[in-house]
Homo-oligomer: A and B are copies of this chain.
């Protein structure tokens, strides 16, 4: 998949990831971009998140995004802040830009200083192989992801939107260990993009939950450089949401150790906020996630999760279905357990819930909880 017009990328293996895979990458726009950003709500947010938030408040355009994977540069104190600033300076020097035009993003293990000699040496090799292949970027930002994540849409005027994301552990509604970057050659006013971006993030990336943890580093950002001309704002925003939704589902499906995607659709909620919260709470239940792994239609765990979701519901009318089969409607319904279990042996398991408390809807995505999750996370640093 090619990046939109006017964007180029490059990646190198700087030696940050022990695997020797590409771990330092940049996307540069030929011209300044309008952009929008959303960062983790963690009180221990990493230096890159804090710096991008400052840039965002400054309202000035950006030209480039530099990402390293394999080291989150989080909980690294003042040295970490200095190293993060150095990332932007190295990128600026390499590409002849201002440091203020550059965003930074780091992902990986927390609490280790960035190996700045390797990073610096990596920058020296970065500019020699410019490319438009979005896959290069998608692969370089991976950590425990099992596959690169890319999505695209083309607008009626020919402008393109290309997004790339990474997961996959420590993912939770409040912008967890997740990157999602979207690039477009459409021309869209920065105000329009920024007004819509938080809502789109709430309905897409923040509706993904893998393990209830919230990362110090995660962020979503959209960059538009206008190289393919003006687009209809409504069409653009709808396509942007589709790209981000597709990426969100990819992240959930590739949760650490996951064997299937868990989708929770809530309707009949008193508000969209409550619908999303209920859907996320159910999708994040460790007990339900374990049951989904075991193809066990244990809908009681849906009720238990809803009970702590802080969302209005009418228990006497509440409806739950699994893979389209009604299992609860104010009381347990009879159903063919082996048949429903068989239906759950699918790539995607869908729970539909009607709270019977209003008319708002929301959807969230997670994955099953497996022995693989435990193995991956028991062995991450040692």
Contact = CB atoms under 8 A, between A and B. Distances in A.
Interface in A333-364: 337, 341
Interface stretch (A116-124, A231-239, A244-252, A372-380): A372-380
Interface stretch (A7-15, A182-190, A264-272, A296-304): A296-304
A11 to B, nearest CB: 25
A328 B313 CA distance: 44
Contacts of A113: 332
A380 B76 contact: no
Interface string A187-227: 00000000000000000000000011111100000000000
A325 interface: no
Interface stretch (A26-34, A38-46, A90-98): A38-46
B298 A381 contact: yes
A211 B379 contact: no
Contact of A307 (B216, B286, B369): B216
B109 A300 contact: yes
Interface in A42-84: 42-45, 72, 74-79
A358 B161 CA distance: 49
Contact of A382 (B41, B174, B337): B337
A76 B313 CA distance: 16
Contact of A371 (B40, B43, B112, B371): B371
Given A111-B332, A286-B377, 12 more contacts: A44-B307, A77-B332, A110-B303, A111-B300, A169-B287, A290-B374, A296-B378, A296-B380, A296-B381, A341-B382, A369-B374, A371-B371
10 contacts: A44-B307, A75-B315, A75-B331, A77-B316, A110-B298, A113-B332, A211-B287, A290-B376, A294-B380, A371-B374
Interface of A: 40-45, 72, 74-79, 109-113, 169-170, 172, 174, 211-216, 284-287, 290-291, 293-301, 303-311, 313, 315-316, 328, 330-332, 337, 341, 369-371, 373-382
